[in-house]
Chains A and B, each alone.
Chain A
Amino acid sequence: MRLTLILALRYLRRGCPLSAITLAAITPAALVLAVSLASRLGDLPARIQWGVSMGLVILAAWLGLTKALMGTFQARATELTSLREIGATPAQIRGVILMQALLLSGSGTLLGLLIGLGLIALTGGRPVPSLPIEAAVVAGVGLASGGVAGLVAARPFTHL
């Protein structure tokens, strides 16, 4: 675990893909906006339409994040292959990749929460998350989306 974290941090220090952080920020920001602004919409169809729109934004952001992570790890393919050659198990290689994905999506989630709350504050809506549990849910969704994207991006390197 410690070795995985050290390797992940060193790789991110060597080159932190801002595109991945930006894309990871979209999901929590969209969630905050979706929940906060939905209460202003009057009828149910309008709320559903709003929810679907935000869902599509989140899906597009997740696909973009997965692609960005795949590009990042592809650029490090030779070194990830080296790990396998010296006896890293598939789980250890997946761990290094997943840790990087979680660190990136964690940074993105924090950024997304701040952006979402900032936009709500500007438009005068009820700030969501207003409770710790809501913030935890939004952060959890952001991290989970980054984690799943990381697992998808890790797949080519653990099935060589």
Chain B
Amino acid sequence: MDSVSSGIPRLRAERLSRIFGQGAAAVRALTGVNLDIQDGEFVAVLGPSGAGKTTLVRLLAGLDTPSEGRVLLDGSDLGRLSEARRARFRRLRIGLLWPTPHLLSVLSVEENVALPLLLNGSSKAEALHIAQGALERVGLSAHRAEDPAHLMPAEAQLVALARALAVSPAVILADEPTGRLDTEAGDRLLRLLRRARDEWGQSVLLTTQNIRVAAYADRIVHLRDGVIFDVTPFNEAP
């Protein structure tokens, strides 16, 4: 579905709450979060450690189930999908980035990038061809045959971005992707996320504790103790 023509937000969180544990031991990680990400929008969620940023990303990606509320991607309620359908949805529609790259150690760089396509049933030749293109976008095509263990941390994180880009997802969800990178490597990754928004058609949601990183976004959503308390339009990248 084309979310632009239909007027539906690309990704919508409605009254999203997540409570871990029960009774006196219950911990409320998110409370009533409402958030829309429009097609081609770059949103940063800014908050300190423990604010609920990772919980939010996991819920938006369908990796966790909300205690209340729902997540809609292009109008589809993730909570109404079976686990298998949600997995296929995530594979094709959502690109995920974490503070660490989460690459498979038994696969080469290009095989890691091709993996979502292979899981989706693409032929090896086709998947590797697309993976090569994604690696070129992030400037790592020379490393395609390497073992991920031999990469620098910044390079490994770019491979994770190439893997996310390979399926041309509707949304990239990046949970503190620059948290373990130095400033230069972090900026390189953030510029690529901007390109994903500007040139490759992805909507981007990024979480961070760093206002300088958040300033790459069009809009900053402030999250603290699981609650959104402010939204700042922010159109100029540093």
Binding site for B on A (CB under 8 A): 3, 7, 10-11, 13-14, 78-79, 81-92, 160
Q: Can you offer 10 A-B residue contacts whose CB atoms are under 8 A?
A: A3-B119, A7-B106, A14-B105, A82-B104, A85-B90, A87-B88, A87-B91, A87-B120, A88-B87, A90-B84
Contacts of B96 in A (CB 8 A): 85-86
Question: Least Cβ distance of A8 to chain B in Å?
Answer: 10
Q: CB distance B103 to A86 under 8 Å?
A: no
> Any chain A CB within 8 A of the CB of B107?
yes
Q: CB distance A86 to B61 under 8 Å?
A: no
**Contact check: which of A14, A87, A160 meets B90 at CB < 8 Å?**
A87
> Any chain A CB within 8 A of the CB of B115?
yes
> What CA separation (Å) do A20 and B84 show in the bound complex?
30
Q: CB distance B104 to A79 under 8 Å?
A: yes
Contacts of A83 in B (CB 8 A): 104
Binding site for A on B (CB under 8 A): 61, 63, 83-84, 87-92, 94, 96, 98, 102-107, 115-116, 118-120, 163
How many residue-residue contacts, CB under 8 A, span A and B? 60
**Contact check: which of A10, A81, A84, A89 meets B107 at CB < 8 Å?**
A10
Contacts of A86 in B (CB 8 A): 90-91, 96, 115-116, 119, 163
> What CA separation (Å) do A5 and B163 show in the bound complex?
21
Q: Would you list the 4 A-B pairs with minimal beta carbon distance, nearest first?
A: A87-B91, A10-B106, A82-B102, A89-B87
Contacts of A89 in B (CB 8 A): 83-84, 87-88
Contacts of A7 in B (CB 8 A): 104, 106-107
By CB atoms of chain A within 10 A, which of B92, B98, B102 has the most? B102
Q: CB distance A88 to B63 under 8 Å?
A: no
Contacts of A90 in B (CB 8 A): 83-84, 87
Contacts of B103 in A (CB 8 A): 82
Q: B118 — nearest CB in chain A belongs to which residue?
A: A3
Contacts of A10 in B (CB 8 A): 106-107
**Contact check: which of B84, B92, B120 meets A91 at CB < 8 Å?**
B84
Q: CB distance B87 to A84 under 8 Å?
A: yes
Question: Least Cβ distance of B102 to chain A in Å?
Answer: 4
Q: A88 — nearest CB in chain B belongs to which residue?
A: B119
Contacts of A87 in B (CB 8 A): 87-92, 94, 116, 119-120
